[in-house]
Structure 1
Amino acid sequence: MESQKQKPRIAVFGLATLGGGAKGMGIPVLVDLFERLSIHFDICFYSLINHNADVASSSIKIKQPTSWRIPGRLKYFQVMMKCFFDHLHQPWDVIFAISPYPAGAYAVRLGKWIRRPVVVQMIAYEAASLPGLGCMDLTIPWLAKVTRRVCHETDYLVTVAHIQKEIAKQCLPTQRDIDVLPLRINSERFPFVRKSVSFPVHFIHIAYYSLLKDQDTMFRAFAKIADKIECTLTIIGSGYDIPKVQSLLQSLGISTKVHFVKFAAQSELPGYFDKAHILFHPARFETGCAVIQEAMASGVVVCGTSVGILADLGEDYAVAVPPGDDVALATQTLQLIADKARYSEFQQRGHQWITTYGAVWAADNYLQYLDSIVDKDSS
């Protein structure tokens, strides 16, 4: 009997991406992506920090560093060497790194050793530099140097949004090829609820408090809206229990209208979306933004800024104003609330878009992309 064809082998490097972070959830869109890809590829995830293997797919092998207290870079090197020795036992076809540092830096080094193609995927602000946002990688000198080197030396460089690609080309700067492979949610996990705007209007915002997410602009816009109509704002995320936020809410007169939930698992979000009319998302920088996709899948209309996925989609799917403009955000949101037909159009278009271009579509794109790399390298 002819033996079954062996799957191509992919080594994935990341920071507990498939099961990590404060709540051990990892990044759900990436967990979903690699679970789907594991049907076609033999995947081993090399977590550069300790990983909650309980939440990972049983079809994906997990390797992680020792639990001993040693410097982070020694742990990264240890994990890279595990991948190297695994390659000697059974060769890898592709090395895939999630983010230029630390995953990309060690993946590129390993790729040179074992002469295998390396893909570096940028999922956030790794190759962006915006005024006033010191949290970005390119604003930290040593990290900027490493990021630029990795983005130059990797065989394949990927972003998850078209506008992210354009910003990366400007900020790195580079003329090299950058491929766009979006990440998408599994819309089946977010039941669609058809609704029309009613009062009080329920706004929802899901993000940690930061300059990047620009919640101060959101609070100012919401205060202007609350002066005109009856409304509430539910915020899911951490970092709001600081004097600055409480003082701003009091000065704007909206303390009683804003409600906080420190954490909600992804499985709990449909219950919050079910009660919401509008997702507020006024970020100063974004990429694929899963929460916008989740809202659209649920029938919640998005009012935000023209960055990331909203910039890619355009104004036919959501309210999208320039970052930092609370007046425009409030004005256009009020106009949307008053226009029931337009609200319904946004709701239907958003839902149709994410159900058409969801997780299955995204995984198929990655499958074809990785297959082409394997075929090219083996020819």
Structure 2
Amino acid sequence: MKRIAIFTPGGVSSGGKRIHVPSLTNIVARLSGKFEISVYSLDSGSERERVAQCGAAVVKYVSAKHDSRSLHKALSLVSAFLVDNSRRRFDLLHGFWGLPSGLLVVLLGKALRIPSLVSLLGGETADLPTIGYGNLARKPTRLLTEWTFRNANSLHVLTKFQNCQLQRLGYNRRNIQVIPIGADESFRNPARDRRPTPPYRFLHVGSLVRVKDQKTLLRAFRQIAQKVQAELRIIGPDYLGGEVQQFVKELGIDHLVSFFGHLPHVRLPDQYRWADVMLHTSLHEAQGVVLAEAAASGVVIAGTNVGLIHDLGNERGISVEPGKDAELASLVVDALQNEKRYFDLASKSAQWASEHTLQWTVQELAAWYLDFLETKG
């Protein structure tokens, strides 16, 4: 069985109190049935919890005794990896996110002559200096990120949107894999065929942060609510200190908007089944896994032309350029008042989701590994 070392800043865990990204955790667990996988996580573990299981994969965390400085944490993790590699050599190195994990695997790969693969899972191709978002927004991270782009043996992006951004930057490599992260099978809702009726149910799932641009979403929702009866649920942790909630009050729509905060992933399927429309108005997305989950649940997707919404196109979703709240509101109301248009959108995005499940993602990643190993072997 081929050995794969995965480096990640966090997000991969067997659960419990540790913060994790459910889709990545599930992907690693399923891949561990096909490969011998060791995960090296910059997430700090207690002295009693420095090693955990994720499926058959072994997850190693940075010791809690190390301080929070990134260099010290990275060196601790590299040391653990080198010990493991000296016992039995790894066949592939895979970095989740460009920095610091992607940079680490490329450096280690060059030093040890092991192929390095990097998955771009966030803001690696983003350049939004006005909100301080994106690897390309600051010179130091831009230089490190672009060096990683050039020197990784292969890159993995989640959407054609990301690939277009790479091409605009001059990276026209043949070995860029476009593999979106599909929804877990628990989100599939094949029986959904109800016609939406007022009050129309809107849902937004995402952290309250600048790049998600919830103010555009709320402006659009207010205009929708002026034309049809509507209510909105917002699910996700707040990193803006109540700013979004205050904006809701300023818009005079606080009686129509409910904030749920963070919800466990297992509770999200019920929220998607409740909703008629998923609103998502980010300034940038690598993908937006919540959009794949909404599509699998039969919810109409509406938002800005980034990430997965860009890839779905106007036949499978409603899209506008970032910041265009009035245009978005008008298109959403038109779809709600046109039953054929609404069901066409829902059925076509659900079809996409049925063809791009989480298991499909695992199979595509496994094929990427194997093709690369055979090419290099």
TM over 0.5: yes
3-state SS, counterpart of residue 335 of structure 1: helix
Greater alpha carbon shift after TM alignment, 312-321 vs 180-189:
180-189
Q: What is the CA–CA distance in structure 2 between the aligned matches of 1:243 and 1:105, rounded to whole Å?
A: 35
Alpha-carbon distance, 1:363 to partner: 1.5
- Equivalences for residues 204-353 of structure 1 within 5 A: 204-239=203-238, 242=241, 244-353=243-352
1:34 to 28, 34, 38: 28
Greater alpha carbon shift after TM alignment, 237-246 vs 111-120:
237-246
User: 2:42 matched to 1:44?
Assistant: no
Alpha-carbon distance, 1:179 to partner: 2.4
- Paired residues of 2:42 and 2:61 also in contact (CA < 8 A): yes
1:143 to 141, 144, 152: 141
Alpha-carbon distance, 1:240 to partner: 7.2
Q: What is the CA–CA distance in structure 1 between the aligned matches of 2:17 and 2:277, rounded to whole Å?
A: 26
Q: What is the CA–CA distance in structure 1 between the aligned matches of 2:57 and 2:258, rounded to whole Å?
A: 39
> 1:91-135: per-residue Cα shift (whole Å, max 9, x none)?
100000011211112211211221110001101111221463422
> 1:158-203: per-residue Cα shift (whole Å, max 9, x none)?
21111101112324x4343432222212233443433211111111
3-state SS, counterpart of residue 65 of structure 2: coil
User: Does the C-alpha gap of structure 1 residues 185 and 247 become closer, same or farther in structure 2, counting only changes over 3 Å?
Assistant: closer
Q: What is the CA–CA distance in structure 1 between the aligned matches of 2:157 and 2:230, rounded to whole Å?
A: 37
- Paired residues of 1:25 and 1:55 also in contact (CA < 8 A): no
User: Does the C-alpha gap of structure 1 residues 131 and 21 become closer, same or farther in structure 2, counting only changes over 3 Å?
Assistant: farther
- Paired residues of 1:159 and 1:181 also in contact (CA < 8 A): yes
User: Does the C-alpha gap of structure 1 residues 137 and 20 become closer, same or farther in structure 2, counting only changes over 3 Å?
Assistant: farther
- TM-score, with structure 2 as normaliser: 0.92
Q: What is the CA–CA distance in structure 2 between the aligned matches of 1:206 and 1:266, rounded to whole Å?
A: 11
Identity over aligned pairs, percent: 26
Other-structure match for 1:60: 57
Alpha-carbon distance, 1:12 to partner: 0.3
- Paired residues of 2:237 and 2:262 also in contact (CA < 8 A): yes
User: 2:120 matched to 1:126?
Assistant: no
Q: What is the CA–CA distance in structure 1 between the aligned matches of 2:251 and 2:147, rounded to whole Å?
A: 46
Q: What is the CA–CA distance in structure 2 between the aligned matches of 1:31 and 1:21, rounded to whole Å?
A: 9
User: Does the C-alpha gap of structure 1 residues 53 and 230 become closer, same or farther in structure 2, counting only changes over 3 Å?
Assistant: farther
> 1:317-359: per-residue Cα shift (whole Å, max 9, x none)?
1111111100111000000110112111222222222112212
> For residue 251 of structure 1, what is the amino acid of its counterpart?
E
Superposition RMSD in Å: 2.2
Q: Which stretches in structure 2 are left out of the alignment for 5+ residues? A: none
User: 2:106 matched to 1:108?
Assistant: yes
User: 2:18 matched to 1:24?
Assistant: yes
Greater alpha carbon shift after TM alignment, 321-330 vs 22-31:
22-31
Q: What is the CA–CA distance in structure 2 between the aligned matches of 1:244 and 1:361, rounded to whole Å?
A: 39
Q: What is the CA–CA distance in structure 1 between the aligned matches of 2:52 and 2:121, rounded to whole Å?
A: 21
Q: What is the CA–CA distance in structure 1 between the aligned matches of 2:187 and 2:147, rounded to whole Å?
A: 39
Other-structure match for 1:3: none
1:11 to 2, 5, 17: 5
User: Does the C-alpha gap of structure 1 residues 239 and 356 become closer, same or farther in structure 2, counting only changes over 3 Å?
Assistant: same
- Paired residues of 2:121 and 2:158 also in contact (CA < 8 A): yes
3-state SS, counterpart of residue 65 of structure 1: strand
> For residue 260 of structure 1, what is the amino acid of its counterpart?
F
> For residue 201 of structure 1, what is the amino acid of its counterpart?
Y
> For residue 229 of structure 1, what is the amino acid of its counterpart?
V
> For residue 160 of structure 1, what is the amino acid of its counterpart?
L
Q: What is the CA–CA distance in structure 2 between the aligned matches of 1:180 and 1:77, rounded to whole Å?
A: 31
3-state SS, counterpart of residue 50 of structure 1: strand
Residue-pair matches, total: 371
- Paired residues of 2:182 and 2:357 also in contact (CA < 8 A): yes
> 1:292-337: per-residue Cα shift (whole Å, max 9, x none)?
1111111211111111111112111111111110011100000011
Other-structure match for 1:95: 93
3-state SS, counterpart of residue 64 of structure 1: strand
Q: What is the CA–CA distance in structure 2 between the aligned matches of 1:245 and 1:110, rounded to whole Å?
A: 42
Q: What is the CA–CA distance in structure 2 between the aligned matches of 1:54 and 1:344, rounded to whole Å?
A: 47
> 1:3-53: per-residue Cα shift (whole Å, max 9, x none)?
xxxx10000000122129996342222222222211111000011222588
Alpha-carbon distance, 1:54 to partner: 9.3
- Paired residues of 1:236 and 1:261 also in contact (CA < 8 A): yes
Q: What is the CA–CA distance in structure 2 between the aligned matches of 1:53 and 1:82, rounded to whole Å?
A: 11
> For residue 89 of structure 1, what is the amino acid of its counterpart?
R
3-state SS, counterpart of residue 211 of structure 2: coil
Other-structure match for 1:160: 158
Other-structure match for 1:355: 354
- Paired residues of 1:80 and 1:107 also in contact (CA < 8 A): no
Other-structure match for 2:173: 176
Q: What is the CA–CA distance in structure 2 between the aligned matches of 1:163 and 1:197, rounded to whole Å?
A: 30
Q: What is the CA–CA distance in structure 1 between the aligned matches of 2:348 and 2:248, rounded to whole Å?
A: 34
